[in-house]
Amino acid sequence: MSDSERGLIIVGGGIAGMTAAIYAARAGLDLLLLEKAACGGVANSSCTVENFPSYQAISGMELMQKIKSHVRSFGVAIEELAEVEDVDLESRLKTIATADARHAAKTLIIATGSAPNRLPIASGCDERVHYCALCDGPAYKGKDVAVVGGGNTGFDESLYLVGLGVRSVVLLECLETCGAAQAVQTRARSTGRIAVRTGCRVCAAVRENGRVRMTVEDVRTGSSGTVIVDGVFVYIGHRPNTAMLEGKLDLDPSGGIAADAFMHTSRPGVFAAGDVIAKRYRQLTTAMADGTIAALEAARYVRECA
Amino acid sequence: MPENITLLTAETFPGYICSGQDRVVLVFRQRCPNCQVLMAVIDKCRASWPEFDVAGVDADESPGLLEQMAVSKVPTILVYRNGELSARRTGVMSPPELRALVASAGAPRP
């Protein structure tokens, strides 16, 4: 276990953390970026990103690799597979402990992102319930699948699955209307292979004759129906990755970090950015804006503390 | 695909899992982000245990083999002991978790 002191530690290598790294490096901060898995975060799992200015369409993993290369071009120290085990935010120097090392810095940016929400039912067919079309979609070529969630991700992944050769997609949304952008909804419907059902809540899913038998409730009438498919892909939002921060930072009821417009948290010298903060819109572009502001404020904090 | 992972096919798989006491097999897809993470985890384990031997099955190249192994999600790690499946786990895991999985199957701890 070694101690090293820096100006800034960024925890989380998604787009918010990587953007913060670029701005902090340009501001001259000695910084370290810690990522528990691989840089890119949940965006790595996006089959296609169509709302990132400068690319009409690009795979999430390719986009994240480009941004990581950009960060590396500034000589930023990046440690991947560095899961944070403990944080001390109370002292003047903030400390972060991973399995391999202990790090200290004048200021921190928490950009730990979010994790996909799981299907909130006891499923007897976990092997057929998926959260990554890039990973598991190819196995369903020529088969029928259900996609749960009518946001942008649900529609984007449905289109990806159809492009892989999936025979049909039934997209289930529990609200009365889907939240996805109209353009992607129109494109999905125009394929003729994606059926959208709103006001449907998934109540159960069981294996039956090698397939998945889903029980869905019509939220308007309370009546139940059945959807039989070969596999289920779930995109019903994300929850902030803040378990290690409980009791150390103010969190909102959903678990998101309470941060002001300048990304200040309840602890001086601790900033937050991206999907981990409590906010309404979680997009690549909003995460980049958060990362930008957090880095500029972190640089200001270090200057004022000097 | 990391250079130091032997790629298995339906033809080479049966011989491989019977070729030693403990064999670790990673089922992956090239475009799967979680598979990339797990490959990095394997590399990190190897840094402390160079003899840690892992072979790979590309799910897109060997769909029949996946069916035979009853694998429907990637990444999946399977540990074979004397040719018999003794442990398996799906999804990303940390280096300590991978070490524990391999150890649970009776293999020397990396």
Helices and strands in chain B, H and E counts: 4, 5
CATH topology of domain A3-116+238-305: FAD/NAD(P)-binding domain (3.50.50)
Q: Which residue has the tokens 């289109």?
A: A159
> What is the tally of structural domains in chain B?
1
Buried b (16+ CB within 10 A) or exposed e, A105-121: bbbbbbbbbbebeebee
The residue among A135, A141, A207 with the most chain B CBs within 10 A of its CB, best to mutate, is A135
CA distance A129 to chain B (A): 9
Q: Residue B110: inside a domain, yes or no? A: no
Domain containing B96 — which CATH number?
3.40.30.10
Chain A residues within an 8 Å CB radius of B68 = none
Q: Which residue of B has its CA nearest to A45?
A: B33
Cα(A227)–Cα(A239) distance, integer angstroms? 27
Q: Do A135 and B60 touch (CB under 8 A)?
A: no
Q: Are A110 and A265 in contact (CB under 8 A)?
A: yes
B51: domain range?
Answer: 6-104
Query: Which residues from B are below 8 Å from A45, CB to CB?
Result: 33-34
| Structural domain spans, chain A | 3-116+238-305, 126-234
**Closest CB from A80, A83, A138 relative to B60:** A138
Q: Is residue A190 a contact partner of residue A183, using CB atoms and an 8 Å limit? A: no
User: Structure pTM?
Assistant: 0.89
Contact A81 B75 (CB under 8 A): no
Instruction: Spell out the CATH class of A126-234.
Output: alpha beta
Does residue B109 lie in a domain region? Answer: no
Per-residue pLDDT of chain A (306 residues; tens, 9 = 90+): 445 689 999 999 999 999 999 999 999 999 999 999 999 999 999 988 989 999 999 999 999 999 999 999 999 999 999 999 999 999 889 999 998 899 999 999 999 999 999 998 876 788 899 999 999 999 999 999 999 999 999 999 999 999 999 999 999 999 999 999 999 999 999 999 999 999 999 999 999 998 999 999 999 999 999 999 999 999 999 999 999 999 999 999 999 999 999 999 999 999 999 999 999 999 999 999 999 999 999 999 999 987
Q: How far is B104 from A191, CA to CA, in rounded Å?
A: 48
* B58 within domain boundaries: yes
Between B32, B94, B95, which is nearest A135 by CB? B32
* CB contact set of B51 (below 8 Å; sequence gap of 6+): none
Please name the residue of chain B whose CA is at the shortest distance from the CA of residue A139: B72
DSSP-derived 3-state class of residue A290: helix
Sign of the dihedral defined by the CA atoms of residues A155, A156, A161, A167, in that order: positive
